[in-house]
Amino acid sequence: MPICWRRYIGNVAEWLRRCPAKALGSARVASPGIRGSLAVSPSTGGANLLLPPDESNSRSAVSREALDRVAELVKNNELFAFIKGSPEEPQCGFSRVVIQVLRACGVTSIPYQDVLLDPELRAAVRVYGQWETFPQVYIHQELIGGADILLDMFKKQTLQELLQKHSLVQEDSAHP
pLDDT 10s digits, 129-149: 999 999 999 999 999 999 999
3-state secondary structure 66-88: HHHHHHHHHHCCCEEEEECECCC
Question: pLDDT: is 66 or 50 the higher one?
Answer: 66
Q: Would you say residue 172 lies in a domain?
A: no
For residue 170, the model assigns a pLDDT of 65
Q: Which residues contact 10 (CB under 8 A, 6 or more apart)?
A: none
Q: How many helices (H) and strands (E) does the chain have?
A: 7, 9
> What's the whole-model pTM score?
0.65
Residue 61 binned pLDDT confidence (cut-offs 50, 70, 90): confident
Domain containing 39 equals 3-64
**Residue-wise pLDDT tens digits, 88-132:** 999 999 999 999 999 999 999 999 999 999 999 999 999 999 999
Is the same domain home to 103 and 151? yes
Domain edge (last residue) among 36, 64, 92: 64
Cα–Cα distance between 118 and 104 in angstroms, integer? 29
Of 14-23, 88-97, 152-161, minimum mean pLDDT range: 14-23
Is the same domain home to 84 and 155? yes
Question: pLDDT: is 7 or 10 the higher one?
Answer: 10
Q: How many domains does the chain have?
A: 2
Is the same domain home to 153 and 114? yes
Domain edge (last residue) among 12, 41, 64: 64
Is the same domain home to 73 and 156? yes
Is the same domain home to 75 and 152? yes
